[in-house]
Chain A
């Protein structure tokens, strides 16, 4: 099982100082804040008592796509009576392609292809293309789409 979780939070600066008092019992905030290296986003580390599990809290940045992705997030039911806010599939693809270019991480490209393979036909492609044009990643988008389309074609009724 994964040993950490990542959460983006939108709080004013004053809100962060109050955050430790809002944390549930057994979860504590580390004193030192850090930076996420790919996006240079500030982050705070939460430790879970008597566990190796940790939760990284990223501050919502001023980056235009980071803002758009946060505004478009959706509450999804994950268990009975439990809803969680998640980014949309379109925004996951845009972000992964941006990282695959910026940080040269092949896994991000593979992740983007995997999301396309599952959700390809229902995706808002004009939205994806607009941001990829903005990020200079239209070429990797075309490459990813070509890889994903093999699965879509295989799913077509013959």
Chain B
């Protein structure tokens, strides 16, 4: 499991458990760049 895969699995678990979160740090940059 790559880093991105594991992070996305964790986020999916947070979403299904309705746990509020936000990604910060280097992955914020990576995800923001992919959005842009």
Contacts and interface: CB of A to CB of B under 8 A. Distances in A.
Contacts of A10: 19-21
Contacts of B14: 9, 22
Given A51-B1, A53-B6, A55-B6, A22 B35 contact: no
A6 B34 contact: no
Contacts of A40: none
Instruction: Tell me the dominant secondary structure on chain B's binding face.
Output: helix
A76 B24 contact: no
Interface residues of B, number: 29
B20 A70 contact: yes
Contacts of B13: 22-24
- How many of chain A's residues touch chain B, expressed as a range? 35 or more
Contacts of A23: 10, 13
A59 B32 CA distance: 22
A41 to B, nearest CB: 11
17 contacts: A4-B3, A6-B24, A6-B25, A7-B22, A8-B21, A11-B19, A22-B13, A24-B6, A26-B6, A26-B9, A76-B31, A76-B32, A78-B34, A85-B23, A86-B28, A87-B22, A92-B28
Please provide the 3 A-B residue pairs with the shortest distance between their CB atoms, ordered closest to farther.
A6-B25, A53-B3, A73-B22
Interface of B: 1-3, 6-14, 17, 19-28, 30-32, 34-36
